[in-house]
Amino acid sequence: MCGIVGYIGDRKTEEILLEGLRRLEYRGYDSCGLAVSNLKNKLQLKRAKGRVEALADIVAAENFKGTVSGIAHTRWATHGVPSEDNAHPHTDCQGEIVVVHNGIIENYLELKDELLKKGHLFKSDTDTEVIAHLVEEKLKTLNKGANSIRAEMPEPVFFEAFRRAVSVLKGSFAVSVLWAKTPGIILSARMYSPLVIGAGEKENFLASDVSAFLKFTKKVFFMKDGEIAVLRKSGVDFFDFGGKKIQKENSTVNWDLSMAEKGGYKHFMLKEIHEQPQSVENTLRGRVLPVSGELLEKELGMTAAEIKKTGGIQVIACGTAFHAGFAGKYIFEKFGLRTEADLASEFDERSRLLEKNTLVLAISQSGETADTLYAVKLAKKNGNKVLAITNTLGSSITREADYTLYTHCGPEIGVASTKAFLGQLTAMYILAVNFAFVKGNISEEKARLCVEELLKIPRWVEETLGLERDVEKLTLSFSGKEHYLFIARGINYPIALEGALKIKEISYVHAEGYAAGEMKHGPIAIIENGMPVLAVAVSGPNLDLIRGNIEEARARGAEIIAIVDRESGKKVKAAHYLEIPATDELFSPLLTVLPLQLFAYYIALNRNCDIDKPRNLAKSVTVR
């Protein structure tokens, strides 16, 4: 995953590009660069290894005059090590064409070999550089046979060369190109990688995320796969890969830039942890009172009749989203709905075994997760309907899916997901209650009781976050530990997995999440004196069993940190207690995950880790 920014207009182009890169740095941060053009047909290109501020220092020492357009990129390496040579933008042999690109060009070696035979010289190890040379080669061909160029094309030679180039690319890409000889336009194309256009007054923007230009405009065009955008100062035109002009509707983004700022918190992750009461409320708002299926029909376009025809449910997702979906399996099955949950990256063989009336539930915060998108396509090929749960308007998964439920959590900048996870988990409850009611698994009275409990959750989330100071003090004595075990039973087992993942992601320590009943089948061997074991032990049918598992760990020297409620805390023996509000065990994952998020955050803070930009990770994994 990487970040793209582009601008054409009268502002100082380099300043717009740098500001956009700063807002997209969460998408990639091992190298970055920008290129600007002016009306004298000159390009200026600057690149740097490392963060955007390193590039800003280089740009500050330069004299940029008369710029009219530019493109920029912040990189997360997929081909070639992080270096200035491998940083984008990349150029052709003459240094007149510059390219930025997100995604993977699957046939780049084949294309590179052909271009090398034609005399092209490459300066990087990336797949992206192939695009610049490919456009250059297409320009040479067109200049030899100008009569073949269609007269109605804008800046016909450049457009046609670009169109022909992207048409032979295989893989996923969002690509933007400048040519020194046509400074008045920027060309962009999309295939399986996000790209959005911002429409302003006598200026236009492009980016891989709207936050890059939201300060300047809220009017956006979401590009679809197989589309080309031609940006000029005066407007934007759209074409398909065949060169046919198409009409697109613009959308208005309904959140402002302040939502993407830290708001006084030390890190985005901490800010987003504290935004979770609002995230749950936003996901719940107007959706939790089922009336004969009308709610889901309005929200999803899914009728009561279609819900009744649904047999089982198949969840597919990756990482944190998978943990939300795995918890969803327990939730759906509590309501009598048979459910399976699989990692999207392991779905290939399973997809062909799905019964045709199985509804596939695909979960992705960004809506661009490559493995999840691939799994969705497999399910569609098998003839299954797909319901997407995502936080991102206009994302790829929404166009592939038959139905979409947005979580409305607002932008999540921290790489380690928190509020998006809670939004996804909340969506599981919304769907489970509505499906169960429509299918006759629960009465209207039972449905309303569930709704009443869900509507209390935002307040209880707020109350649970009041544990922050206790968690902060607690972590001081654990920050030097290198091994952690997280255990739980039943519906909180996925929360143990999520707690272990969070501390691994941002603290770089070894952590395992286990179903507590499995401890005696192997994991108990790693417990030694002083090892921290975090146990979810809330009131419910599983309490007596988890108490026994805690005792097994204590007997081997583990230091127990127990997530409890008031009643269960009286029955559990632990070294430390973190008490959450009491709720039915069915709804407890919405609360039990919160102290685990805070625990991971403060362990990472005490270890001086880069919490919002953990090493080797990116916000959305758009390659398989």
Instruction: Provide the annotated active-site residues.
Output: 2, 619
Cα Rg of the chain, angstroms: 26
d(Cα 58, Cα 84) in Å, to the nearest integer?
A: 12
Going by C-beta distance under 8 Å and a sequence separation of 6 or more, which residues neighbour residue 103? 171, 172, 173, 174, 175, 191, 192, 193, 622, 623
The 3-state DSSP class for residue 361 equals strand
| CA triple 480-483-488, angle to 5 deg | 125
Q: Answer for the pair 6, 71: CB distance below 8 angstroms, yes or no.
A: yes
Where do runs of H (alpha helix) occur along 536-611?
A: 543-554, 589-606
Single-letter code of the amino acid located at 284: L
Q: Answer for the pair 276, 426: CB distance below 8 angstroms, yes or no.
A: no
d(Cα 369, Cα 379) in Å, to the nearest integer?
A: 15
d(Cα 227, Cα 285) in Å, to the nearest integer?
A: 35
| CA triple 304-305-307, angle to 5 deg | 65
Four-point Cα dihedral 107, 26, 208, 424, nearest 10: 100
d(Cα 559, Cα 550) in Å, to the nearest integer?
A: 10
Nearest to 165 by CA among 119, 215, 97, 232: 97
Q: Answer for the pair 553, 527: CB distance below 8 angstroms, yes or no.
A: yes
Which residues does residue 90 pair with via DSSP β-bridges, in sequence order?
99
d(Cα 136, Cα 158) in Å, to the nearest integer?
A: 9
Four-point Cα dihedral 91, 95, 97, 98, nearest 10: 40
d(Cα 477, Cα 467) in Å, to the nearest integer?
A: 17
Query: What DSSP element (H or E) covers 453?
Result: helix 444-464
Query: Which string of DSSP letters, residue by residue, matches 475-512?
Result: HTTTTT--EEEEEE-GGGHHHHHHHHHHHHHHH--EEE
Q: Give me 386's structure tokens.
A: 């797909």
d(Cα 286, Cα 475) in Å, to the nearest integer?
A: 39
Q: Where are the beta strands (DSSP E) in 144-274?
A: 171-179, 186-191, 196-199, 204-207, 219-222, 227-232, 235-240, 245-246, 251-252
Q: Answer for the pair 410, 422: CB distance below 8 angstroms, yes or no.
A: no
Which residues does residue 563 pair with via DSSP β-bridges, in sequence order?
536, 578
